[in-house]
């Protein structure tokens, strides 16, 4: 972002303090004097002084002027360096991706590049939100959350043959918070929960945080293995946690038959299905949903707007029976009191802007081309997708024989390329030869160059072992 005159003025004063032209206790030039010196307006200098006062650098003395309150210490590099030797765990990918510098490539992360996001739509939404009612800017939200956003969600769900009362929707701050609330409400430490293998790694992290016992069900191209799923019901699970539609990390879509069978088992054995619908806006054709087939007696649906709108403006939701939503509201009030009403308003304004549907259409076309390009480039490295997804951003890929995803990930990290090794997604840790690629983050040729270099190095090591 370009520096303003106010920013330059602030920096000018800070530099004066740093080089000791102004010492602690020194009086600064008057507003008028400094404005004349810098050839800026008086209002610019007033605002610069006010900011420095707010930061505790200057002190304003009534009738006397502005004084240096303290000296500016040199900025220390307090960022945690990327831990190359950290073991691959459910949070490995997130930590590396979030801690990475701007030059690091992130084909292993789970979000779109920032320049792919609808920045102008968000900026416009921010302006609209600034003009909204005072309640959105200053007050707590109502227990269920933003009314118009809930109406929007209800209308969108009609596309999946879901008729939803507004009292069935709870606005949260993220999909992750939604799962956390549900776990707190439904489960206690030691309870059994079923997950796909592989599954989204943060599911595993949340399960660990709550002290739950995860039972992994092998995931096929049509959904969870039904025979093994039914066997696992002997363990009396309370919840089955999975994705709606586009599966993370495989990109597969669960068949209607599988959804029907799982739904019948949920009714018979009285466990809840949490379906994470976070990738809905990536769909090119609507996939079947558990909630659409069986309703909300056995299903809790969650979602957010992070993947296609903004990761900075956090906002999610939960859809379930009214009674369960009421219980979740009580829990949310007890633990977090309210959600960000302002975030919800910004998201709502972005969603109803005419530019958003156009953006989604363009995004899906771009992703399709990018996915095909990525598949082709990976094939040249003998890396092949488990299935070819019909939509979304993920490829779940098999690495060449003899190559372990953990070794490849750690080696590529040294070249500033962050990957997503398979065992981060696997409760049974049987995905050591698999890697998840985010095609939207594979645009830079450096990704494939580093992969080629690392693969060659690892193959040479294996050859050396054989020769030895």
Mean pLDDT by 10 residues, the chain (468 residues): 80 90 91 93 94 90 87 47 59 78 91 95 94 84 92 92 94 95 96 97 94 97 96 97 95 96 96 96 93 94 95 95 96 88 94 95 97 98 97 97 94 94 94 97 97 94 60
Integer Cα distance of 26 and 22 in angstroms: 6
Q: Which of 336, 360, 310, 338 is nearest to 129 (CA)?
A: 310
CA dist 287 and 309 (Å) reads 21
- CA torsion, ordered 136, 140, 146, 148, to nearest 10 deg: -40
φ and ψ of 117, to 5 deg = -80, 155
Q: Is 336 exposed, middle or buried (0-12, 13-18, 19+ CB in 10 A)?
A: middle
How would you label 107-129 residue by residue, b for 16+ Cβ within 10 Å and e otherwise? bbbbbbeeebbbeebbeebeebb
Predicted local confidence at residue 51, as pLDDT = 92
Q: Is 301 left (phi over 0), alpha (psi -120 to 50) or beta?
A: beta
CA 12 to chain centre: 38
Q: Are 181 and 172 in contact (CB under 8 A)?
A: yes
Whole-number pLDDT of residue 161: 87
* Helix-helix angle 355-379:445-467, to 10 degrees: 30
pLDDT at 109: 93
Instruction: For each of the domains in the chain, give its residue range(s) and CATH number, in order of start.
Output: 5-68 (1.10.10.10), 92-117+356-467 (3.90.1150.10), 119-351 (3.40.640.10)
| Proportion of the chain in helix, strand, coil states, percent, rounded to 5 | 45, 15, 40
Q: In sequence order, what are the beta bridge partners of 316?
A: 172, 304
Using alpha carbons, select from 147, 145, 117, 205 the residue that is nearest to residue 325.
Answer: 145
- Supply the pLDDT for residue 463: 64
Cβ atoms of 376 and 435 closer than 8 Å: no
Structure confidence at residue 464 (pLDDT)? 56
Burial of residue 347 (CB within 10 Å: 0-12, 13-18, 19+) is: buried
Contact between 194 and 239 under an 8 Å Cβ cutoff? The reply is yes
Contact by Cβ (8 Å): 371, 439: yes
pLDDT of residue 462: 63
Are 208 and 240 in contact, with CB atoms under 8 Å apart?
no
Q: Residue 230 is inside which H or E element, if any?
A: helix 226-232
- Identify the pLDDT of residue 72: 47
Instruction: Specify which residues 218 forms β-bridges with.
Output: 197
Beta-bridge partners for 194: 215, 240
Q: CB neighbours of 256 closer than 8 A, spacing ≥ 6?
A: 288, 293
């Amino acid at each position: 972002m370009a520096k303003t005159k106010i920013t330059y003025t602030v920096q000018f004063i800070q530099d004066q303090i740093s080089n000791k032209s102004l010492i602690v206790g020194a009086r600064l030039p008057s507003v008028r004097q400094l404005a004349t010196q810098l050839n800026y307006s008086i209002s610019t200098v007033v605002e610069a002084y006010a900011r420095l006062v707010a930061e505790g650098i200057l002190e304003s003395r009534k009738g006397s002027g502005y004084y240096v309150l303290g000296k500016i210490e040199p900025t220390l590099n307090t960022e945690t360096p990327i831990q190359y030797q950290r073991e691959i765990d459910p949070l490995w990918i997130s930590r590396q991706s979030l801690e990475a510098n701007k030059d690091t490539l992130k084909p292993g992360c789970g979000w779109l590049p920032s320049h792919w996001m609808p920045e102008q739509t968000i900026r416009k939404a921010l302006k609209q939100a600034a003009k909204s009612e005072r309640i959105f800017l200053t007050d707590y939200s109502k227990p269920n959350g933003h009314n118009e956003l809930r109406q929007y969600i209800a209308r969108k769900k009609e596309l999946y043959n879901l008729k939803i009362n507004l009292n069935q929707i709870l606005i949260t701050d993220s999909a992750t918070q939604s799962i956390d609330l549900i776990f707190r409400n439904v489960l206690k430490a030691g309870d059994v929960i079923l997950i796909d293998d592989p599954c989204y790694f943060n599911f595993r992290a949340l399960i660990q945080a709550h002290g739950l016992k995860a039972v992994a069900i092998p995931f096929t191209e049509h959904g969870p293995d039904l025979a093994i799923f039914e066997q696992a019901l002997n363990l009396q699970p309370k919840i089955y946690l999975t994705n709606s539609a586009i599966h993370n990390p495989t990109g597969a879509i669960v068949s209607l038959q599988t959804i029907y069978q799982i739904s019948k088992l949920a009714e018979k054995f009285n466990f809840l299905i949490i379906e994470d619908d976070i990738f809905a806006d990536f769909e090119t054709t609507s996939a079947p949903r558990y909630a659409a087939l069986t309703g909300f007696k056995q299903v809790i649906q969650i979602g957010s707007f992070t993947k296609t709108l903004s990761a900075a403006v956090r906002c999610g939701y939960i859809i379930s029976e009214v009674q369960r939503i009421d219980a979740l509201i009580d829990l949310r009030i007890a633990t977090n009191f309210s959600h960000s009403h302002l975030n919800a308003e910004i998201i709502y304004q972005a969603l109803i802007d005419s530019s958003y549907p156009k953006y989604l259409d363009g995004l899906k076309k771009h992703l399709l081309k990018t996915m095909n390009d990525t598949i082709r480039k990976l094939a040249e490295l003998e890396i092949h997708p488990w299935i070819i997804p019909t939509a979304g951003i993920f490829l779940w890929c098999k690495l060449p024989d003899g190559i372990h995803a953990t070794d490849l990930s750690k080696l590529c990290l040294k070249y500033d390329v962050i990957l997503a090794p398979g065992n981060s997604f696997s409760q049974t840790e049987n995905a050591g030869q698999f890697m998840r690629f985010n095609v939207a983050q594979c645009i830079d040729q450096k990704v494939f160059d580093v992969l080629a270099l690392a693969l060659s190095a690892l193959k040479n090591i294996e050859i050396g072992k054989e020769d030895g």
